[in-house]
Amino acid sequence: MQEKLAKLKEILGVVADLHGATALLDWDQQTNMPPGGIENRGNQIGTLSSLAHTKFISDEVGTLLEDLKPYAETLDPDSDDACLVRVTEREYKKATRVPSEYVAEFTKVTVLAHGAWEEARAKDDFGHFQPHLEKIVEMRRQYAEFFAPYDHVYDPLLDDFEPGMKTAEVQEIFAELRPKQVELLKAIAEKEQVDDSFLHQHYNGEKQWQFGEAAITKYGYDWNRGRQDKAAHPFTTSFGLGDVRITTRVDENFLNTALFGTLHEAGHAIYEQGIARRLDRTPLAGGASLAIHESQSRMYENLLGRSYDFWVHFYTQLQETFPAQLGNVDLDTFYKGINKVEPSLIRVEADEATYNLHIMLRLELEIALMEGDLEVTDLPAAWNERMENYLGVVPPSDADGVLQDVHWSGGILGYFPTYALGNLVSNQFWEKINQDIPDLPGQIQKGNFAELLAWLRENVHQHGAKFKPQDLVKQVVGSPISPDAYLAYLNSKFGAIYGLE
Active-site positions?
265
> Of the candidates 425, 357, 361, 427, which has an alpha carbon nearest to the alpha carbon of residue 186?
357
| Residue 305: partners with Cβ closer than 8 Å, 6 or more residues away | 215, 259, 260, 263, 264
User: Do residues 499 and 189 touch, judged by C-beta distance below 8 A?
Assistant: no
**Cα Rg of the chain (Å, integer):** 22
Q: What are the φ/ψ torsions at residue 168 (nearest 5 degrees)?
A: -60, -35
**Exposed/middle/buried for residue 245 (C-beta within 10 Å: 0-12, 13-18, 19+):** buried
Q: Is 230 helix (H, G, I), strand (E, B) or coil?
A: strand
Q: At what angle do helices 2-31 and 59-72 cross, to 10 degrees?
A: 120
Coil/strand/helix, residue 345: coil
Can you give 404-427 as a three-state secondary structure string?
CCCHHHHCCCCCCHHHHHHHHHHH
445 and 322 Cβ atoms separated by less than 8 Å? no
Beta bridge partners of 247: 229
Strand order in the sheet with 236-238: 228-230, 244-248, 236-238
From CA 122, how far away is CA 118, in angstroms rounded? 6
d(CA 353, CA 373): 30
